[in-house]
Structure formats: C-alpha cells, structure tokens
C-alpha cells in the first residue's frame, strides 16, 4: 500500500511517516526542509523536496498512490496574506487536483481548531458549532478556505476526511514546549490573569492514531471534520508547572493582566507593521488571547465515527517529552 504525506518534514507529518513506514506502508514523504527530509531517508523513507505550489510536481507525486495525507501548511500568527494563501489554499487545491486525476482512495486533511478562536472563552466546542464571523488571523482564514476546497472536492466525488488537532506536543516538537522553555530562559513566562485558562493539548502520537483511523473509517465519516485532542482539559498554569516540575527547573513567571498584555501586543504589532517592515513581533494579540482565553473541544464525534481513543495521557506524554528533552539537551 502506497501513501503520500505532505508536510512530512514537520512535526506531525514526520511522526506519521515514521509510523506508517514501521507498519509496512510504502511512504513518500514530501516537504521543504531538506535536512529533515534526509533524516527520513536515513530511516528508509522516500523523501521528495517539493513545494505544494508546484502543481505539476504534486500531480506527478499523486500518481500510483493509494492514500494521501495533507499535513503541510504555513502556520504562524503573523505574515503576509498572500504567503498563507499560496501555501494553505492554492497548495491544497493543487493536491486535490492530483488526487482527483489519479483516483486516490482517500485524501486525509489536517486542518486546525484555530478557526474557532474569537477572543472569548469557549468550552466543549463541537465541529458543527458556529464559527466566528471573521477569522482571527491569516492562518485561520486560509485554513478555513482550505476546508472549503476540501468540501468542494467531496461534493465532486473525492473521498475526504479532515481532522482539527489541538496544540500538539511530544518528543521532537520544536514549537509548543521548546518555545516555552526558551522564553523561561530569556524573558520569562507570561502568566496572563494567573494562566487560569482551561485548554486542550494533544500528544502527537494520538493524532497519528486518528489519522490512521481515517484510512479505514466508515463511509459516513467521509466529508466530515473531526476535533482531535487528548480529551483532558487542564488549566494552563497546571501544564506550565508540571513541565518545569518534571524538568526540575525553576519557572520564571512574569505576571500580567490580560488588559495590559493585550495593550502591549497591539503596540508591538503596530511597530512591526510600520517601522520593522512587517517583521513578526515578539508577541501578538492572538498569542496573548491563546494564553488568556479558555478553549476546549468536544471529541465525541471522533470517538463515535473514527473509533478514536486517546491512547497516551497528558501525564505520560509530558514524561516522554521531558525524557527526550533531557537526552537531547544533556540535562
């Protein structure tokens, strides 16, 4: 069985490529990071360095594949709209065209719960709940447009399933906890309104489980989107404290109110836009909102339709991350 994985040099795509390869699938990993691609090749995984904007190359890569996993995206709270559109919308459109032409069995698409965020506390969000009138940033806006491309493809007869995984963590992550630890060593951890916001985080291998379940999910799952989390909402401050406790490190807190943090973020955004030629600011309004506002997702649909069950708990996942971090950083 042959599978194509876009975004395979990213965190989730790389883990998926490794898992499917270990299960005996013939994996073609697609990504832009040649160094990480070579690491996959060292493990016996075929790697092709290509950009999703290259429609002809993507069309060619889809030929002969059975399943396509689309985890590639430009993910950032800041940047030019055209860059996000090219990567997240046009790239998805190119991939869909390749899947349609070569009659792929299923296209499994990785979307985002960022489309739910609206600077308010939201709990137990279902996939069918109303979305904000205006997406929070260019990333959310273009990922929502990508979902619409997927919806159109389904109406045209392509077998598709989408997942919306929330805040991935685990060994080899370069974003969530590594950024937290870097902030702790430099400016300190911003504790906005006591970091009491209730949030979901998700161990990466649980998301890989969900993606693999999408390959054999029943017909009634086609065309749908599924929230994927660990199903263990926790206060942000608890997660922070657990990480530093397990690492045996002191957490350097910077207590600040949401109102003041948002005011500073707005100032930095204006300065970045006007004086720094669009350079990404140190903090954004979105990042402050994520730290201050609760957002939890309902995963009952994934449990019912996909048979998804979070296999690795947050506590276990944190232990695995910490062990990997210590090994790599000689702690």
Percentages (nearest 5) of helix, strand, coil residues in the chain = 50, 15, 35
Burial state string for 95-133 with b = 16 or more CB within 10 A and e = fewer than 16? bbebbbebebebbbbbbbbbbbbbbeebeebebeeeeee
Contact 50/109 with Cβ under 8 angstroms?
no
Enter the tokens of residue 272.
Answer: 């970045």
Kindly name the residue from 139, 203, 226, 308 that is annotated as catalytic.
Answer: 139
Distance CA 199, CA 186 (A): 25
CA 173 to chain centre: 11
139 is catalytic: yes
Q: Between helices 91-101 and 138-155, what is the axis angle to 10°?
A: 20
Q: Active-site positions?
A: 139
């Amino acid at each position: 069985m042959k599978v194509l994985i876009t975004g395979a040099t990213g965190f989730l795509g790389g883990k998926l490529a490794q898992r499917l390869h270990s299960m005996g699938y013939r994996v073609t990993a697609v990504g832009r990071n040649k160094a990480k691609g070579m690491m996959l090749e060292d493990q016996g995984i075929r790697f092709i360095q290509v950009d999703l904007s290259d429609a002809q190359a993507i069309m060619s890569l889809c030929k002969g594949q059975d399943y396509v996993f689309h985890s590639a995206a430009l993910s950032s709270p800041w940047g030019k709209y055209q860059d996000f559109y090219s990567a997240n919308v046009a790239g998805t459109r190119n991939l869909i065209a390749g899947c349609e032409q070569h009659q792929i069995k299923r296209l499994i698409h990785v979307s985002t719960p960022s489309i739910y965020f609206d600077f308010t506390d939201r709990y137990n969000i279902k996939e069918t709940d109303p979305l904000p009138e205006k997406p929070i940033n260019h990333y959310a806006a273009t990922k929502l447009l990508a979902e619409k491309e997927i919806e159109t493809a389904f109406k045209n007869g392509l077998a598709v399933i989408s997942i919306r995984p929330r805040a991935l963590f685990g060994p080899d992550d370069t974003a969530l906890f590594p950024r937290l630890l870097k902030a702790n060593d430099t400016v300190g951890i911003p504790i906005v309104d006591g970091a009491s916001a209730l949030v979901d985080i998700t161990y990466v291998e649980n998301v890989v489980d969900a993606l693999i379940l999408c390959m054999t999910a029943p017909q009634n799952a086609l065309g749908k989107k599924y929230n994927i989390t660990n199903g263990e909402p926790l206060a942000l401050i608890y997660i922070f404290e657990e990480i530093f406790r397990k690492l045996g490190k002191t957490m350097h807190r910077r207590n600040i109110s949401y109102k003041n943090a948002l005011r500073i973020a707005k100032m930095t955004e204006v300065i970045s836009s006007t004086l720094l030629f669009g350079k990404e600011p140190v903090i954004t309004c979105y990042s402050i909102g994520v730290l201050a506002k609760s957002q939890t997702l309902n995963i009952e649909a994934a449990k019912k339709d996909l048979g998804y069950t979070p296999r690795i708990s947050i506590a276990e996942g944190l232990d695995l991350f910490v062990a990997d971090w210590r090994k790599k950083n000689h702690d």
